[in-house]
Chains A and B, each alone.
Chain A
Amino acid sequence: MDWLSNQIGADWARALAQFVGINVGFVVVLMIVAYTVLAERRVLGFIQGRLGPNRVGPGGMFQPFADLLKFIFKEEITPSASTRFVYFLAPIIAITAALMPIIVYPFGPEVWLPFLGTFPLVIARFDIALLYVLGITSVGVYGVALAGWSSNSKYSLMGGLRAASQMISYELSLGLSLVGVVLMSGTLNLYDIVVQQGGGGGVLNWNIWSFWKAGTCPQIIGFITYLISAIAETNRVPFDLPEAETELVAGFHTEYSALKFALFFMAEYVNMFTVSMLATTLFLGGWQGPFVDVFPWIGIVWFLLKVVFFLFLYIWLRGTLPRFRFDQLMNFGWKFLLPVAIINVILTATVLYFRWS
C-alpha cells in the first residue's frame, strides 16, 4: 500500500484499492448466489420428496455453471413492438441496483495481513451506509417496472405494475422497522452498529433481544416486521405475486430470454442475499460471535452462518407457503405491517427515553 501511495498518490491508491475490493466482492457474492440457487433447488427437492439436480458434478456441484452456459447460448428474443432501449436498460438497472449495496456490509472485524497492515473487513465504511442501502433499494423498482412496460405484453405490464406497487408499499415498513435499531445505536454506519453489539455478554448483546446493556431496547417486533417486508421487497413466496405463474405466465420477465433473463434471475437472488446480510448486521450482531476477540478471522464464519440461516429460511418458506392474493397483500402491508412498525418506533423511543434519563 505504501509503495503504491508513493507511486500514484494516496487518493488514487485508495481508489484503486476500493476498485479491486468492490470487484472481488461482486465476484464472491455472485458465486455465493450461484450456489444459493443450487441450494434452493436441492432443498426444495428435499421438502417436496424428490432429488433435485444431482447429475452435474458430485452432488450437482457444477449445476450453476451448466445453467449459466445454457443461459448464454440460448437465443435472445426481442419482442417486435417493444420499446427497444428501455427493454435493454431494465435488466441492467435491476442487477446494478441489486449489486451496489453489498459493498457496505461489514463481514468481519479488524484483521492484520502482511504488507497490508490492519484493516476492517468491509469494502466501504461510511456514515450513511444504511441510507445508501435504502436509496439503492428504492431505485431497484425501476428495473422491474420498466421491464414490465417495455415488453409490450399485458402479462409483463401487469407483473411490472404489481411488483412496483408491492415494492413501494413494503419499502415503508422495511425502512420503519430499521428505525428502532438506528435509535438504539445512534449511527447509520453499519460497521459501528455491529461493533456496538459486541463486548461482554456475548450473544445477549445482539440488537434483537439486547436489554441488559445500557441504552437498549429489544427489537424483536422490528426484526419480525423487517423479515416479512424483506420477503415482500424481494418478491419471494408467499409474496411472489409479480410472477404468479398461474395468472401472469412469468410476470415482468415473461418476454425476457437468455442472458437478460439471467440478469433478472441473478438480481432476485442477490437481493435475497443483501436483505439477509442487512438482517444479520442490524439484528443478529453481524460478525459478532464466540472467539472473535481471540481470532478475528472467525468473524467471517459467524457472519456467513447467520446469512445462510436467513437464506435457508427463505427457501423453507418457498417450499411450504401458498401465495397471497393481491388485495390481501396490500391490506396486510398497509393496515397491519406499517402500523406495527410505527408502534415499534414509538415503543423504542419511549423505552430509550426512560432508560437514558
Chain B
Amino acid sequence: MFNLLPSVPQLLFVLFGAMALGCAVAMVAQRNPLYSAISLVGVFVSLACLYLTLQAPFIAAIQVIVYAGTIMVLVVFVIMLLNVEEEVRRPLRLTYLIPVGVLLAAVLVGEAAFMLSLGSSAPTPAQTTSGSDVGLTASIGTGMFTKYLLPFEVTSVLILMALVGAITLARQGRTPLFAAPGNVDEEPAVLTAGGDVAIKPGDTAATGRAYAREQIRSGDAAAPSTSAGEEER
C-alpha cells in the first residue's frame, strides 16, 4: 500500500530543489529590488537544505550563517536605507547579446543533459560519501589548518585588506586618518577690515553669533528685544 511513497531524501530533494528554482526565477523576474533580495535569501536557504541532504551539514550551516544571515542582511539594509524604487521596464538595448544568451543557455542545457546521462550509471553522491567524513566539521577544520593553511591565511589577509579599505573610504569626509598636505580642509580665519583676527578657525560660538548678526542686519530674523540679547548664547 505504501510502496508508492518516494524515499525521504527524494522527497526533500524535489521539495527544496523546486523551492530553489522558484526563488531563483522570482529573483530575476521581480522588479522591486527588495523582493529580489528576499527571493535570493530563499535560494540560499533552500540550497543549504540541499547540502544537508547531500550529507554536508557544515557547508549547509555556513551557507545560512554567511550568505543568508550576513551578506544578504547588508544588501537588504542598503535597499532599505536608499529606498530604491521599483524598476521600470525600459526598451531593450544591446540586442546583439540575445543570440549569445540563447547560445550560452543551450550550452548549459546540453551540459546538464550530458551530466544526467552520466549520472544514471554512476553512484549517487549520497552513496559514495555516507561512509567517509567528507563535509563534516572536523575534517574541514583539519584540512583548513594543516594542508590548506597558506591559502586560508592569504584569504584572511585579503579580507582584512577589504576591511581596512572600507574604513578608509568611509572616514575620508571626516577626520583624515593621515594628515597630509591637501588632505586637511583648512578653515581660513575671519579677518576684520584692519587685518586683525576676528574669529579663529573652529570657534563655533563666535561664528554662530556672527551669523545671527548677519541675519538681523539683512532682515531675515527679528532683532532681540533687549540690547543684551546679543551677548546671550
Q: Which of A135-143, A234-242, A256-264 contacts B (4 or more CB under 8 A)?
A: A135-143
Looking at chain A's contact residues, the main secondary structure is helix
Report the interface size for chain B: residues with CB under 8 A from the other chain.
29
Contact of A8 among B2, B60, B68 (CB under 8 A): B2
Contact of A83 among B34, B41, B77 (CB under 8 A): B34
List A78-125 residues whose CB lies under 8 Å from chain B: 83, 85-86, 89
A89: chain B residues within 8 A (beta carbon): 38
Contact of A12 among B8, B41, B76 (CB under 8 A): B8
B80 to chain A, nearest CB (A): 5
A145: chain B residues within 8 A (beta carbon): 73, 76-77, 80
Given contacts A128-B137, A142-B73, A146-B76, contact A8 B5 (CB under 8 A): yes
Report the interface size for chain A: residues with CB under 8 A from the other chain.
36
CA A171 to CA B68, docked complex, whole Å: 14
CA A45 to CA B5, docked complex, whole Å: 55
Q: Is the CB of B8 within 8 A of A139?
A: no
Given contacts A141-B73, A168-B73, contact A131 B38 (CB under 8 A): no
Contact of A127 among B2, B45, B69, B137 (CB under 8 A): B137
Q: Is the CB of B2 within 8 A of A9?
A: yes
| A8, A139, A148 interface centre (most CB from chain B within 10 Å) | A139
List A142-169 residues whose CB lies under 8 Å from chain B: 142, 145-146, 148-149, 157, 160-161, 164-165, 168
Given contacts A86-B38, A145-B80, A168-B70, contact A128 B61 (CB under 8 A): yes
Q: Is the CB of A164 within 8 A of B7?
A: no
Convert A25-36 into 0s and 1s, putting 1 for each residue whose CB lies closer than 8 angstroms to a CB of B: 000000000000
Q: Is the CB of A131 within 8 A of B68?
A: no
Is B17 interfacial (CB-CB < 8 Å)?
no
B104 to chain A, nearest CB (A): 32
A235 to chain B, nearest CB (A): 16
Q: Is the CB of B64 within 8 A of A136?
A: yes
**A136 to chain B: closest residue by CB:** B64
Q: Is the CB of B34 within 8 A of A149?
A: yes
B12 to chain A, nearest CB (A): 9
Q: Is the CB of B35 within 8 A of A85?
A: yes
Contact of A11 among B7, B60, B65, B73 (CB under 8 A): B7
Is B13 interfacial (CB-CB < 8 Å)?
no
CA A12 to CA B64, docked complex, whole Å: 27
B55 to chain A, nearest CB (A): 11
- 19 contacts across the A-B interface (CB closer than 8 A): A8-B2, A9-B2, A11-B9, A12-B5, A15-B8, A83-B32, A86-B35, A127-B137, A131-B137, A135-B65, A136-B64, A138-B64, A139-B68, A142-B73, A142-B76, A161-B77, A161-B80, A164-B73, A168-B73
* New contact pairs (14) apart from A83-B34, A149-B34, A168-B73, CB-CB < 8 Å: A11-B9, A83-B32, A128-B61, A131-B61, A131-B62, A131-B137, A135-B64, A138-B69, A139-B68, A141-B69, A145-B76, A145-B80, A161-B81, A168-B70
Binding site for B on A (CB under 8 A): 7-9, 11-12, 14-15, 83, 85-86, 89, 126-128, 131-132, 134-139, 141-142, 145-146, 148-149, 157, 160-161, 164-165, 168, 171, 188
